[in-house]
């Protein structure tokens, strides 16, 4: 069995519900055993200039993000296909919008390094994304990146001063309070 880390994100509807449903569905696939899911984080959307140039704006709703770890007997591309089936099953349409009810990213697949058009492992943006590193640190603070050798904790500390107001830890049970709300 292989240990894989999955990034989960949602900026449409009830993000926490969407992520829990995605995690549950992914765990229902033969050859996949879900082990742990980090707490959820509310994060400001990161707008990519290429999206705007292509006329694909991103909505204003903040993202709910988490990271999960699972064991799998599926090959990397088969796991990726299962993840994409879960996304589609929960309403993801990559052609219509960059907004998403659920987005699943394969972050790590054991220590495997792959650089192909369809799949890059480890995920090439891990070290730049606080919304990935914060929940990943809950599950695997001392896990080294197979290319850089830096641990999750070290990568997160490198981003500690960036986006301090752009991320907030939630619980799976509390009601969502929009950013800027006096109760936040």
Q: In whole angstroms, what is the distance from residue 178 CA to residue 168 CA? A: 11
Q: Which residues contact 144 (CB under 8 A, 6 or more apart)?
A: 150, 151
Encode burial over 92-113: b for 16+ CB neighbours within 10 A, e otherwise: beeeeebbbbbbbbbbbbeeee
Measured from the Cβ of residue 77, the count of other Cβ atoms closer than 10 Å reads: 13
Dihedrals φ, ψ of 57, to 5°? -70, 160
Q: Which residues contact 107 (CB under 8 A, 6 or more apart)?
A: 4, 5, 6, 7, 67, 122, 123, 126, 132, 136
Measured from the Cβ of residue 79, the count of other Cβ atoms closer than 10 Å reads: 24
How distant, in Å, are the alpha carbons of 15, 21, 48, 137 from that of 68? 15, 13, 25, 11
Active site residues: 92, 100, 103, 105
């Amino acid at each position: 069995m292989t240990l894989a880390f999955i990034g989960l994100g949602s900026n449409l509807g009830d993000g926490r519900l969407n992520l829990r449903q995605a995690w549950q569905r992914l765990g229902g696939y033969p050859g996949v055993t879900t082990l742990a899911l980090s707490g959820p984080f509310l994060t400001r959307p990161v707008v990519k200039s290429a999206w705007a140039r292509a006329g694909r704006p991103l909505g204003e709703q903040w993202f709910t993000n988490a990271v999960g770890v699972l064991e799998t007997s599926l090959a990397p591309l088969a796991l990726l296909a299962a993840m994409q089936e879960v996304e589609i099953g929960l309403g993801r349409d990559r052609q219509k919008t960059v907004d998403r009810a659920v987005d699943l990213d394969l972050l790590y697949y054991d220590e495997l390094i792959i650089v192909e058009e369809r799949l890059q492992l480890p995920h090439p943006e891990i070290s730049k994304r606080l919304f990935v590193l914060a929940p990943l640190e809950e599950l695997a603070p001392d896990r080294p990146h197979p290319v850089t050798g830096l641990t999750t904790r070290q990568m997160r500390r490198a981003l500690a001063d960036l986006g301090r107001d752009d991320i907030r830890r939630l619980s799976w049970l509390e009601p969502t309070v929009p950013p800027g709300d006096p109760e936040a």
